[in-house]
Structure 1
Amino acid sequence: MPQHSPARTRLCPDCDGFPTVAITTGTRTPDGSRQTITVACRTCHGTGHTTIPALVRVGR
């Protein structure tokens, strides 16, 4: 039986659909775990996909 797939969205070419990452800074917190910072993709602003140029409305 065929599976229904969701509408295709275009993945961001810079992050390939992984828009947010945690990067370790190398330092440790007082409880011994690593300190991390969260960074979002600058191209898609953390959404993971981009708009398809043909679907963008231009003009009025």
Structure 2
Amino acid sequence: MPDPAAPPTLVCGHCDGFPVVAIDSGTRNPDGTRRILKVACPNCEGAGTTARRAPVTEAASC
């Protein structure tokens, strides 16, 4: 049963919840395995979620 006091987490809009990807560089290590680059989402820094924004309480005056 979910905890009603815990705020829901938001999925990162930049990575859609897939924060780390592995990219094959095409080269191989001396032992024959492939070189892989692990890249994390710069927006959520590899967490996959973002924090909720505080609600706007006051309108800006022009």
Alignment TM class, shorter chain as reference: 0.7 to 0.9
Partner of 1:24: 24
| Aligned-residue identity in percent | 50
- Give the number of the structure whose residues are more often helix, by fraction: 1
The structure 1 segments of at least 4 consecutive aligned residues displaced by more than 3 Å after TM superposition are none
Aligned residue pairs, count: 52
Between structure 1 and structure 2, the one with the greater Rg is 2
1:1-60 matches, within 5 Å, as 4-5=1-2, 7=6, 8-54=8-54
Gaps of 5+ in 2: 56-62
Gaps of 5+ in 1: 56-60
With normalisation by structure 2, the TM-score equals 0.71
What's the Cα RMSD here?
1.7
With normalisation by structure 1, the TM-score equals 0.73
Q: Residue 24 of structure 1: SS of its match in structure 2?
A: strand
Task: Compute the displacement of 1:51 (Å).
Answer: 0.7
